[in-house]
Amino acid sequence: MASLNFIQLLNGLTFASLLFIVASGFTLIFGLLRIVNLAHGALYLFGGYIGYSVVAATGNFFFGVLASMLCVAVMGLLLDEGLLRFVRGFELRQVLLTLGVAFVLNDLALVIWGGDTFSVPVPETLRGATKIFGSYYPKYRLLVLFLGVAVFVALWLILNRTRLGALIRAGVDDAEMVEAMGINIRRVFLVTFMLGASLAGLGGVVGGAFLTLYPTADSEILVFSLAVVIIGGRGSLVGAAVGSLLVGLLNIIGQVVFPELAYFVIFGPMAAILAFRPLGLFGRAA
């Protein structure tokens, strides 16, 4: 049985960081709009592919990130305004509809980009390794780690320190009342939906650079995101962070100790938490 070393710990943390970027978008939409967007994984994959194509065409990683976030935000807009509007208020129908969208998007990605494995090229300055606490570690992965923290801080500030955040929180508590104050709450929710979707796009490019992109990557990231939200609780930013850390680290432990059964290792804590807190660590009843 191999033991965990420092590098593997860092691998776990960077993976957790990516998970947080993806899952925070998922939990944001789930918690605030009460929409479970099962197409989130497909948006991640699409974002990654778009980022890959743009980076390959322009040679600029930053453009790739930007293009991917924009495109996926627009896809979120189309999904919300074009399809979900027909099933508003029906929770289960919404979920199943997004599941249908996930199938369509996944297959569409297969048509456009084929079944090959892609890796988003990392910018020149971030290639190679750097020395950290006496061992060498890829620079790019450290950036991912910081990016995760930055996304957490930014989301926290948006939700707690801005007018938009105040509107979102008010809308969650009593949408009708906010409307009565003369605010277009639908627009606030739409912005939230696009923000959440763009985080999936960001995750796709960032993750596509070190996890690679392939046709089943969307399901894999969706399982992890679901595990994060189930552990952390719906709509909780802190819950998503704690859940990501738990899932990310456990996944690495699983890969090192039981390489073939890594999936099983996330299952344990998920089961334990559900037994005691069915709504997750930081979840509250609707």
Residues that bind another protein (CB under 8 A): 36, 38, 83, 86-87, 90-93, 95-97, 99-108, 111, 219-220, 222-223, 226-227, 229-230, 259-264, 266-267, 270-271, 274-275, 278-279
The residue among 75, 72, 62, 68 whose CA lies nearest residue 50 is 68
Is the Cβ of residue 164 or residue 220 nearer to another protein in the bound state? 220
The residue among 191, 189, 199 whose CA lies nearest residue 151 is 199
Is the Cβ of residue 2 or residue 271 nearer to another protein in the bound state? 271
User: Least distance in Å: CB of 101 to another protein?
Assistant: 6
> Can you tell me the distance from the alpha carbon of 175 to that of 179, in angstroms, rounded to the nearest whole number?
6
Is the Cβ of residue 140 or residue 224 nearer to another protein in the bound state? 224
In angstroms, the Cα distances linking 181 to 171, 175, 178, 216, 249 are 11, 10, 5, 45, 45
User: Least distance in Å: CB of 90 to another protein?
Assistant: 8
CB 172 within 8 A of CB 32: yes
Is the Cβ of residue 36 or residue 202 nearer to another protein in the bound state? 36
User: Least distance in Å: CB of 253 to another protein?
Assistant: 15
Is the Cβ of residue 181 or residue 275 nearer to another protein in the bound state? 275
Which residue type is seen at 118?
F
User: Least distance in Å: CB of 222 to another protein?
Assistant: 7
Can you read off the two tokens belonging to residue 107? Answer: 């297959």
Task: Give alpha helix (H) positions in the chain.
Answer: 6-33, 40-58, 61-78, 91-113, 139-161, 163-173, 175-180, 185-210, 217-232, 237-257, 262-276
Is the Cβ of residue 252 or residue 266 nearer to another protein in the bound state? 266
What's the Rg (C-alpha) of the chain?
19
User: Least distance in Å: CB of 124 to another protein?
Assistant: 34
User: Least distance in Å: CB of 134 to another protein?
Assistant: 33
